[in-house]
Amino acid sequence: MLQKLDQLLELTKGRKPIPCVVVAANDPTILSALKEASALNIITPVLIGNTSLIKQYSNDIGFDISSSEVVDISDLEQASQYAVNLYKGKRDFILMKGMVSTAIFLKAIVNKKSLLIKDRMLSHVAISEITSYHKLIAYTDVAMNIAPDLEDKKKIILNAVDVLHQLGITKPKVAIISSMEKVNPKIESSVHAQLLVKWNQMQNQPECIIEGPFALDNAISADAANRKDIRGTVAGDADLLLLPNLDAGNLFYKTLNFCAAATTAAVITGARVPIILTSRADNKNNKLMSIALAITLC
């Protein structure tokens, strides 16, 4: 089981390099992450975007892209569509968002003609390493689904639990997050928590333990849980947080990364291949860890 995110790099060792197709690769931070991944021989970059800028930035950081495929498409919609169309049933293939908005990038992916889509809901899963928590913490969904209903949340949990299973966490502890730890009929997230707990108990699926509702503090702090007399297997020891909506999730993600100096790996799951969707403002290390996570999930 992973204890630190950099262990993802160990998991990728000895594997055949995988094509990493990057939309709008004309960014020094992205290229720096790709340089490290290439040096580890875990990817073969396919760089789509403004060729002159890609070459300029690569030269600036000493990244030799002479053997990489570089495709000159500056229009972001066209670049996104070109990248998606490169997937033709390839088993080993990862797609990465560069200096393009999430909306444009995802529009190409969810197109009905896209071969990337299968019969599963797409959702975003992030895994962070922070000094204030005793283990890695995963959370979902912070970038894909705006206001998931109860059935959506079941699918989002299934996707995230599948990721954790592949990382060796066999029975993840899932905390359903709300603004409080008691069910309030006026607060939808707390009602959803109660129903998701019952779903888990009745179906025994997915292979995880679901408890809630939790306020954030008592999901990740044993001390907070004890002070509020909150008992259970998950309290203070969650592996996975289901956040109530995209607003809450995105705020949590960016607070960890920009205020708590978290190291984070993030992917979109549910498609035929892992899709790396980090913030354009994320640092090099987070992008590198996300590449390693995507490769591990292939």
pTM of the model: 0.93
Domain ranges of the chain: 1-118+271-298, 120-269
Distance CA 254, CA 5 (A): 18
**Cα distance between residue 55 and residue 68, in whole Å:** 11
pLDDT tier at 204 (50, 70, 90 boundaries)? low
pLDDT band at 205 (very low <50, low <70, confident <90, very high): low
Q: What are 1-35's pLDDT values in tens digits?
A: 788 998 998 888 888 999 999 999 999 999 999 99
Structure tokens at 137: 């913490």
Mean pLDDT over residues 111-135, rounded? Answer: 88
Query: Is the distance from CB of 84 to CB of 76 less than 8 angstroms?
Result: no
Q: What angle do CA 158, 160, 166 make, to 5 degrees?
A: 100
Contact criterion met (CB below 8 Å) for 251 and 185: no
Class of domain 1-118+271-298: alpha beta
pLDDT bracket for residue 153 (50, 70, 90):
very high
Burial class of residue 285, CB neighbours in 10 A (0-12, 13-18, 19+): middle
Res 190: pLDDT = 96
Residue 236 is predicted with a pLDDT of 95
29-75: pLDDT as tens digits: 999 999 999 999 999 999 999 999 999 999 999 999 999 999 999 99
Are the beta carbons of 245 and 226 closer than 8 angstroms?
A: no
Q: What percent of the chain has pLDDT over 70?
A: 99
Q: What is the pLDDT of residues 82-94, one digit of tens each?
A: 999 988 777 788 9
CATH of domain 120-269: 3.40.718.10
Q: State the chain's mean pLDDT as an integer.
A: 93
Give the pLDDT confidence score for residue 118 in this predicted structure.
Answer: 77
Q: How far is 73 from 38, CA to CA, in rounded Å? A: 22
Any idea which residue has 């293939």 for tokens? 93
CB 94 within 8 A of CB 86: no
* pLDDT (average), residues 273-281: 88
CB atoms within 10 A of CB 166: 14
Which class for 49: exposed (0-12), middle (13-18), buried (19 or more C-beta within 10 A)?
buried
pLDDT of residue 22: 97
pLDDT score of 124 = 96
Quote the CA–CA distance of 223 and 36 in Å, as a whole number: 39
- Of the listed ranges 52-61, 104-113, 175-184, 193-202, the least confidently predicted one is 104-113
Please provide the DSSP assignment of 50-64 as one string: -HHHHHHHHHHTT--
When pLDDT is cut at 50, 70 and 90, the band that residue 293 belongs to is: very high
